[in-house]
Structure 1
């Protein structure tokens, strides 16, 4: 394992550690739970710090990577259409009169989530392994670190059974997103998708909009595209290097 790959694990550990402190603070000190949108009022500050950590490690070790020319991905196109339909439902059916300020806080917090998580796990962890030519190892370890991040949700009040499910699902999501990153050759589309996905799930609770049906389709799509993305990952990575 290269020094850069080891450094990426250090970066991920620091990132996950900050999230663990954030979850503990949010739940044990302020009394919010992971399933409450108001948690974002506490987590926003932590997400800003985590973003800065990601930017630091990226600029120090991988500056100039991760943001190449965007390549077409049919799988991402399907995901983008589904998420845009969800956005349309949210803004046409949502009730924003009750707590518009919280919707804004959720939007800002999830924006930092989308940027920092993609930068850390698909940019730094996956990027470090790709730089060494270790494509499949990068996909696996970036997904594993992404899953471990969500294990700290137990500190935010989530039941152990739910956390186990979250870890399993985020590992699958991590595999799919790593494959998409290699296919797309750019982190930005994933950052946008990640932001909107998290925003809709959390803000939907505030605006009383149920987007769970479409989100289930998003998850199923990720599972379907996972196998071809995994198989073609080395070929797609080789194209990006040309």
Structure 2
């Protein structure tokens, strides 16, 4: 008999998120201490893709066993609500324009192009895995408590705490708080966007393209890397302002967010 089935959905989600974070921490430790690769270096992708592949397979287990794909956000997209996403998408486009402009001025080796391909695959796994866990499993599990803002807060905090393990990958201890704040704000915006859009796929695509351009821009040169990073900072006020507006708007669990949830996930 499945002992976890007797637990509430929030408890299962907390367990799933804890294991996700623990595996990431072990992967970071191995990458830094055994392979000598520091977090943020494009070369980390050559190691981390297998960790992320395993985490995505683990997500498939959690979703298929305890939640269901519609229940965690694979539903009909509410296209009209994409306007809320437009400011952040504009920043992302600007980041890519800066990156591609820099890329056009340099000549990359075959090994560097191969690293681009690996980074593309790895960051895709990041986008799918982290969105499935935090805007999918965690957010929707806590929506069953009928406390929508609590669910969004837990989702954002859980996503932020995931990045604390980056310290094992070589991120300076004093730099961790800043990273936690930035990732919390990222989750602060994406949690209500998930409820507005009613579909998790746009978040996955955005997350993937955002991480990819940040991780590969160092291959193009320090100037391009710095410029991409500066443009990315423009999203911080957007996350705060748009996030606050959405949090004020969403006062209860949207019916469409739970309409396709199996009865077994209701508390």
TM-score by length of 1: 0.93
Task: Return closer, same or farther for 1:241/1:55 CA change in 2, 3 Å cut-off.
Answer: closer
Structure 1 unaligned segments of length 5 or more: list them.
none
Q: Which residue of 1 aligns with 2:33?
A: 28
Q: Which residue of 2 aligns with 1:115?
A: 128
CA contact 1:55–1:119 (8 Å) conserved in 2: no
Q: State the 1:207 CA deviation.
A: 2.0
Distance 1:15 1:235 in 2: 28
Q: Which residue of 1 aligns with 2:230?
A: 213
Q: Secondary structure at the match of 1:205?
A: helix
Tell me how many residue pairs correspond in the alignment. 241
Given candidates 94, 97, 113, the residue that maps to 2:108 is: 97
Which runs of 4 or more aligned residues in structure 1 lie more than 4 Å from their structure 2 counterparts after TM superposition? 239-242
Q: Which residue of 1 aligns with 2:82?
A: 73
Bigger Cα Rg: 2
Distance 2:258 2:49 in 1: 36
Instruction: Show CA shifts across 1:150-201 (max 9, x none).
Output: 0001100110111111112211221211011111111100000000110011
Instruction: Show CA shifts across 1:18-66 (max 9, x none).
Output: 1001100100100011131111111111010111111211122221221
Given candidates 45, 52, 66, the residue that maps to 1:47 is: 52
The more displaced of 84-93 and 62-71 is: 84-93
- Are residues 1:155 and 2:160 paired? no
Q: Secondary structure at the match of 1:211?
A: helix
Give RMSD over aligned pairs.
1.7
Q: State the 1:233 CA deviation.
A: 2.0
TM-score by length of 2: 0.85
CA contact 1:179–1:226 (8 Å) conserved in 2: yes
Q: State the 1:224 CA deviation.
A: 1.4
CA contact 2:148–2:252 (8 Å) conserved in 1: no
Structure 2 unaligned segments of length 5 or more: list them.
1-6, 260-267
